[in-house]
Structure 1
């Protein structure tokens, strides 16, 4: 194996994984499961092995022509089988909301793409470097984005039954397949010197769409947390405010790092992430129609509350008071009303020297009245 081939293999591995890590890092609430992510990556690799065998068999037997397989059969079957992962995952509690579906799908697509990269690089070693660079900025992104779209569709479908559920699933599959078919037809039909630019543009566009959808999901999750997180889960107002600013956790927890150290601050960050997940799960309870999913969600919430209470005891009262001091709770209704009344009264115009001492001062400084001054009694 030549040094160029080794470099090409490294590019075909490191860059897709770096993109995957970036996408995973967008999930600010750290929902989902790392073991499920690893399983998704492995599933993508397994699907590649099966599809590769199937394509060779069909072409070798003369059942399908190579060009038809590349342009239509392969992209449709690849998206169908990669997305089949969600038949299992969407029923699991670690599939919290559609952002998890996007990340699991993106991971499965990268798993597929990395192994496919190896096949092309090792099959065409004379052009190994150009193949590696071209694929990581185009084809790899299509594989990842297509399966992410299917994951998002399953994430939305899990709150529904019947026609609406199937509408989401089939719609997600249709978009993913269409994207992949269009891309494969582009790279096999266009012979312009700008082909790589076109392919990269499509791949980057698809990735940006997934990124924007993830941001939309995070915004929705934040609204759910603000709506649902509270006393029912033993969460204070101050803690709820901190959870709402979890994207600024590093900045907000900086005082705690200085006071208590990084290890203690890490526990507090975990504490806040658990609260975020509780808020999302509580909203899911309102939306689920499947009794089994409702029961599993309630059980998961009980575990999270137990873990949260354990961390609260572990970090101690002083640490928790410091945390709550970052966002002091709102004043109670009585003091809030009193404060408002005082403020409004202070803005009202008042005569100089008002009040008791002002009245006494006015009485002592008033000039003597004239004999028939009606302001004073005549004494008659």
Structure 2
């Protein structure tokens, strides 16, 4: 029992620390649990794949452990992270880091549970070293890969297909270097502990600062734009002139839906930013029943406008990838 606690507790404690540090609580705990589950599934698949590499292909154990296992494991772990980023389930590097570490947590729990059953020898100190090593290796490497991917997604919205590759390469390199076993296990764990957690924590601090700036500045901008959209002078603005120009390319009802979509997206953005400001101050604002109707209205308007119409709205830059994240956050908050 003591060995199991030493092997499994470190990664859970580190994940809990990251969640507590997130003052905005951007990720619903339901989604964090899903990430842990995805990491556990990835670990099970990785164990099977690595076993097949050893038995079916007859590869020597050092070749699999030092070269192939890091590739297999990091690809499997990053699959859920990529899905979360592509699906706009995360909005900032801070929540990408939590998702990545949660996936690594699930992976480390299954891997250490497997080794606990396979290796009966060793005391609590050995398993504590193993527990911290797995926690930092699997948690921090996936968190770093997620941070890199989310940062690139925000900077290069038109190149989403390749945003996970740099982070994946970094995670594989760190994992492969650790698996060379150049240093004794205790020393290697201490090196990981000295390098990776401070890097993740530094990213946390910078991302929290960027989030506060985005919430404050974005709220002011959204309120100003919404006032402009609802004003009598909207037709004289750049936004109004562009919508008027679209009348020559789209039917009138579609253009009217475009106007409604702009209004509702701005209202949702204001609601989310206000909710985050309150949450940062320690106040939890519940989601009212009207919000579900607003989200349904957005889905209806997007379907009515169609892909071509949505593409035509992009130059207005009223909506962005974070609008999809807004809606995900509101849906999850509404579920309680």
Indicate the TM-score class for this superposition, using the shorter chain for normalisation: 0.5 to 0.7
Q: What is the match of residue 224 of structure 1?
A: 214
CA spacing shift, 1:54–1:270, aligned 2, 3 Å: same
Measured after TM superposition, the shift of residue 299 of structure 1 is 4.9
Determine the C-alpha separation between the residues in 1 that align with 2:25 and 2:330: 18
TM-superposed deviation, 1:97: 1.7
Structure 1 residue 176 corresponds to structure 2 residue 204: no
Which ranges of structure 1 fall in alignment gaps of 5 or more residues? 1-5, 251-268, 275-284, 308-380
Shift, 1:225, TM fit? 1.6
Is the 8 Å Cα contact of residues 89 and 325 (structure 2) preserved in structure 1?
no
Match of 1:378 in 2: none
Q: Give the alignment partner of residue 190 of structure 1, picking from 183, 188, 197.
A: 183
- Within 2, Cα distance between the matches of 1:79 and 1:290? 36
User: Within 2, Cα distance between the matches of 1:111 and 1:303?
Assistant: 25
1:15-49 deviations in whole A, cap 9, x for unaligned? Answer: 22111100111111110222221111011111111
In the alignment, what sits opposite 1:121? Answer: 116
Match of 1:206 in 2: 196
Hey, what does 2:130 align to over in structure 1?
Answer: 135
Per-residue displacement from partner, 1:301-337 (whole Å, max 9, x unpaired)?
A: 8879x98xxxxxxxxxxxxxxxxxxxxxxxxxxxxxx
User: How many positions carry a matched residue from both structures?
Assistant: 262
Taking the aligned partners of 2:315 and 2:195, their CA distance within structure 1 comes to: 32
Select 2:12's aligned residue among 6, 9, 17.
Answer: 17
- Residue from 215, 232, 243 that aligns with 2:277: 243
Query: Which of the numbers 267, 284, 287 marks the counterpart of 1:270?
Result: 284
Equivalent residues of 1:98, 1:151 under 8 A apart: yes
Structure 1 Cα separation of the partners of residues 322 and 141 of structure 2: 29
Unaligned runs of 5+ residues in structure 2 are 227-266, 289-312
Tell me the SS of whatever aligns to 2:179.
helix
- The change in CA–CA distance for 1:25 and 1:96 in structure 2 (over 3 A counts) is same
Q: CA deviation at 1:245?
A: 9.8
**CA offsets, 1:77-119, max 9 Å, x none?**
1111100112321133441222111101100101111111112
Distance 1:295 1:118 in 2: 40
What TM-score, normalized to structure 2?
0.67
Residues 98, 82 of structure 1: alpha-carbon distance in 2 compared, 3 angstrom cutoff: same
Assess, with a 3 A threshold, how the Cα gap between structure 1 residues 54 and 121 changes in structure 2: closer, same or farther. Answer: same
> After superposition, what is the alpha-carbon deviation per residue over 1:243-263, rounded to whole angstroms, capped at 9, x for unaligned?
3993xx46xxxxxxxxxxxxx
Equivalent residues of 1:149, 1:176 under 8 A apart:
yes
TM-score by length of 1: 0.60
Partners of 2:13 and 2:330 in 1: CA distance: 35
SS in 2 for 1:95: coil
Q: Compare CA radii of gyration and give the structure with the larger one.
A: 1
Alpha-carbon spacing, 1:287–1:208, altered in 2? closer, same or farther (3 Å): farther
Contact 1:146–1:180, Cα closer than 8 Å, also in 2 = yes
How far residue 172 of structure 1 moved from its aligned partner, in angstroms, is 0.8
Highest RCO, 1 vs 2 (Cα 8 Å, sep ≥ 6): 2
- Across the aligned residues of Structure 1 and Structure 2, the Cα RMSD in angstroms comes to 3.7
Q: 1:296 aligns with which of 324, 331, 336?
A: 324
SS in 2 for 1:221: helix
